[in-house]
Structure 1
Amino acid sequence: MIKLALISSALTQPLLAQQEELTPINTNTTNDAIKAIEVPSYNLPSNSDWNLHPVPEDFYQSPYQVNLFSAEYGQDSERLWSQTKSVMAYGFGVAGFILMLPEDISKWDKENGVFTKWNENIKEGPTWDRDVWWLNWVGHPYFGGVYYQVARKSGYRQWDAFLYSFTMSTFYWEYGIEAFAEVPSMQDLVITPVMGWAYGEWAYQKEMEIRSRGGEVWGSRTLGDISLVLLDPIDAAGKGINNLFGTEVVKAGTGGINFAKMPLPNGEYEDQVQLNVNYQLGSGKAYQAPTYQKNYISIKDPVDIGVIGLGLNYGGFKPGKHWGLEQDAADGWSLGLYYSPKFSMKLDYLKGELVNENSQKNVTFEQFNVGANYYFNTESDWRPFVSAGAGEMLYAKNKEENGDSTFALNAGLGLHYKINNNFALQLDAKRYFNSKYSNHDDAYNLSLIYFFGDGQR
């Protein structure tokens, strides 16, 4: 057992203030009385946590600084790397299994070589996929949340955990393993890490809540165990492996935190955070999963899920002459990160059934765009903005329907209205300049946006 005393009044006071069940301590209490006070102990999901260490005074003035690769504030980088290797091992194991399946099941092109197919898919993507809705909006956010928790439970703050999820889902999965089978998907590149952030933070807090109740759900330990595995299968698999071999094969060390008043040389007393760390490395004893006595609540994260905005879109298309389509209504969705009142980046999607002027038949016309908005009048609830981005215009769904698509740059103007912290309306108009037909298209859009957590700043 290693015990470290981390002394920082400025840091521990917010922690103390947020623990409702802590016993108030009078700074004038005698030394004997202090010894008699029973200070509660709280287990952590990792051996370290960013908010247990002093941070610079300007930390909140630069909220988007990246500490993922430096572990500058005491994050558990060893656990992060160990868990990352586990994720990769599981993924390559799945890929090896798929490779052994018949080609009509796996859809992997073995005749021309899987690496040749991978290279072709990389060059062709990203594209707009036609996956069923639950795969895009349930499956991918779930696995994005699994990636997210690898970093979050290694003591990293939300922003760094999101960047980790983005890195793994983009380069390890979309442009890595999955690219052997299919072209990287534009929806997956955005939805997996962004919605994975929202789900992953919920799952992280929910796990702490379940463990604070002794691992029970609805009074059942069995349901609790099942829930914990579903919330974080990577961590659960790591602990299972450790338990199987009786030693810490996968680093998932646990720790505990104590709050106490400690005497200083000048006779005064100061709040201290005492972090207890417990490792089992080849001891021959069965690996014991941690028991979490109470939900652990950290100090305010400088960046949280409130920057995520999910929108429902309704608008219309005015296609250029090349398409031969009549102007009509369209609907869709948007998903973005609203970094500050001045700047945001998001993926917009609109889809409409437009009438072909020659055949008078309905044709599916779609547009997706990854763009940035720069806002003015930021102190007001009404914020005009300018936008710029790039994406694709898609005519019909596939080549069998004489489908076609073209890359397009766009620019536009809009107005953002803040209803409250969690809801906003956004109206914009964009002109798209396609590179294939020297043609331009117009799109108009009204979006109702929901912001997660505490919402907009």
Structure 2
Amino acid sequence: MHSHFYLKTALPLALLFTSFTFAESAPAEPALSETSIEIYQKHATNSAWEEKDIDPAFYDSPYQVSLFDSKNGEDSDRLLSQTYSIFGLGLGVIAVLAVMPEEITNWEKTDLQLGKKWADNVKSGPTWDRDDVVLNYVMHPYFGGVYYQSARKSGYRQWDAFMYSAVMSTFFWEYGVEAFAEVPSLQDLVVTPVLGWAYGEWAYTTERDIWLNGGTVLGSEYLGNTALFFLDPVDSLGRNFNYLLGKDVIKAGTGYFTFNEVPLPYGTETENQIGLKVSYIFGDDDSPALPGISGKKVVLSRYESRTEDPVDTGIIGVSAGGAWVNLDDEWGKKSAFGTQWSLGLYFTRSFSTRLNYTRATVDSKSAGDDMIYENYGIDSQYYFNSDANLRPFITAGLGEMMADEDKTKRRFQINAGLGLHYKITNNWAIQGDWRSYYSTRTKTHENHLSSSIIYRFGKGEWSL
């Protein structure tokens, strides 16, 4: 087992331990004044972009980023406070691991030269990692969703929350904290923010529903507390910390009440958006009680809106299928059938970009062992006739090829090709394509003929 396993698991375990320590070690009646509790209760836990008075011109540029210019009333102070919390938790874990015994962390003594190790790892990446499937495709999207919610709950729209998650997962985690333990991972750079977006938006709406159901799940306050913590541990810890101190050291945010006329996406018509605040106070007002794991004494906002964010989880697409791999004679291997999958963003009906991966086991043309062939990289597609269901497209990209999972045998590749995309429904499509790969180092050519089925999250291709 490598040191990065501890790094990837230590933060969630530390968060879990810290949260339940708050709940169990605090006295039944915290030594807080009535005044300080009232001050804290006046704050809402989050705000919603959908509740704000949005300038109609905003819809003219759906991919604009408001993270550094909160022109729609986003709570940038709350997001900055949440960012500090994430930094503190992550760096705290690194500090603890650095002083723990080697037999626990599996970090060699030379690993304590952290600056040099970080620089070496950054220079070596990104690479296709061999981490456990659960770590790569469950834990990374989970924490991508935690980053995402920090921005979403601060009143930012989905696209801004995704961009925040991408920045945090790339520079704070992959090229920051985790680079002290391993080379940055190519698939983590994509999977963490993209699947984190899908999970984060689901967690965001699920948490709001739990609060509006009295903070319970299946009628159980304990299940409600536990669910609220796991849906967003950073926010949960912040609420607990504020409660223990009796003031908002970590900002909880603000709320809104609105009745606005707003434009429909990509049109000239408008419709009404109604925002309605709902307040839930738990415990006896005359005798303040421990708020529990999630900080129960809160005010939340609930809104009803027919207005759609033009950029939502529908642009996220995953595909799976098969590929016929025809290798250059230089490999000395036969052609073979393999598997292929991708994860990407379908920005418009005309353009998408994806992380693409192909794997096949190929036989030798003469006596010898089989070889595992891998091809991975980033590619983009431009679709013609995009208003129709059947869309021819061209594709191009770059990446690497690898033999037998040996990183010393990596070959840089550039590729181009063409194909056909057929939309079945807003959520489902099928696709076939041919691609030619060229290695600039070995001057070799490979060809892939593939077919796949594509799934789009959310409502899929409804807009853009």
Q: Please give the TM-score of this superposition, normalised by the length of structure 2.
A: 0.80
Task: State yes or no: 1:370 paired with 2:378.
Answer: yes
Match of 2:85 in 1: 86
Say if 1:423 and 1:388 are closer, same or farther in 2 by CA, change over 3 A.
same
* Residue range with higher mean Cα deviation, 183-192 or 296-305: 296-305
Say if 1:142 and 1:439 are closer, same or farther in 2 by CA, change over 3 A.
same
Equivalent-residue separation in structure 2 for 1:98 and 1:323 (angstroms): 44
**Per-residue Cα deviation, 1:126-182 (whole angstroms, up to 9, x for no partner):** 000111211111111100000000000000000000000000000000000100100
Say if 1:141 and 1:222 are closer, same or farther in 2 by CA, change over 3 A.
same
Match of 2:187 in 1: 187
Q: Check whether the contact 1:109–1:181 (CA below 8 A) recurs between aligned residues.
A: no
Matched to 1:77, the amino acid is S
Match of 2:237 in 1: 237
**1:165-184 alignment, distance < 5 Å:** 165-184=165-184
Gaps of 5+ in 2: 1-42, 261-271, 280-287
Match of 2:124 in 1: 124
Equivalent-residue separation in structure 2 for 1:434 and 1:370 (angstroms): 15
CA drift at 1:296: 6.0
Say if 1:361 and 1:212 are closer, same or farther in 2 by CA, change over 3 A.
same
Q: Check whether the contact 1:258–1:275 (CA below 8 A) recurs between aligned residues.
A: no
Equivalent-residue separation in structure 2 for 1:89 and 1:305 (angstroms): 29
Aligned residues: 395
Task: State yes or no: 1:425 paired with 2:427.
Answer: no
Matched to 1:199, the amino acid is Y
Q: CA RMSD in A?
A: 2.5
SS at match of 2:244: helix
Q: Check whether the contact 1:44–1:256 (CA below 8 A) recurs between aligned residues.
A: no
Match of 2:314 in 1: 306
Equivalent-residue separation in structure 1 for 2:106 and 2:74 (angstroms): 41
Q: Check whether the contact 1:415–1:427 (CA below 8 A) recurs between aligned residues.
A: yes
Q: Check whether the contact 2:53–2:258 (CA below 8 A) recurs between aligned residues.
A: no
Say if 1:273 and 1:295 are closer, same or farther in 2 by CA, change over 3 A.
closer
SS at match of 2:321: strand
Say if 1:367 and 1:230 are closer, same or farther in 2 by CA, change over 3 A.
same
Match of 1:56 in 2: 55
Matched to 2:364, the amino acid is N
Gaps of 5+ in 1: 1-42, 261-269, 278-284
Match of 1:395 in 2: 403
Task: State yes or no: 1:379 paired with 2:378.
Answer: no
Identity value in percent: 46
Say if 1:92 and 1:216 are closer, same or farther in 2 by CA, change over 3 A.
same
Equivalent-residue separation in structure 2 for 1:427 and 1:456 (angstroms): 19
Matched to 1:219, the amino acid is G
Equivalent-residue separation in structure 1 for 2:104 and 2:332 (angstroms): 40
Which structure is larger by alpha-carbon Rg, 1 or 2? Answer: 1
Q: Check whether the contact 1:213–1:294 (CA below 8 A) recurs between aligned residues.
A: no
CA drift at 1:108: 4.0
Match of 1:38 in 2: none
CA drift at 1:77: 0.4
Equivalent-residue separation in structure 2 for 1:140 and 1:323 (angstroms): 35
Q: Please give the TM-score of this superposition, normalised by the length of structure 1.
A: 0.81
CA drift at 1:107: 4.5
Say if 1:257 and 1:110 are closer, same or farther in 2 by CA, change over 3 A.
farther
4+ residue segments displaced more than 6 Å: 270-277, 285-288
Equivalent-residue separation in structure 1 for 2:72 and 2:64 (angstroms): 12
Match of 1:29 in 2: none
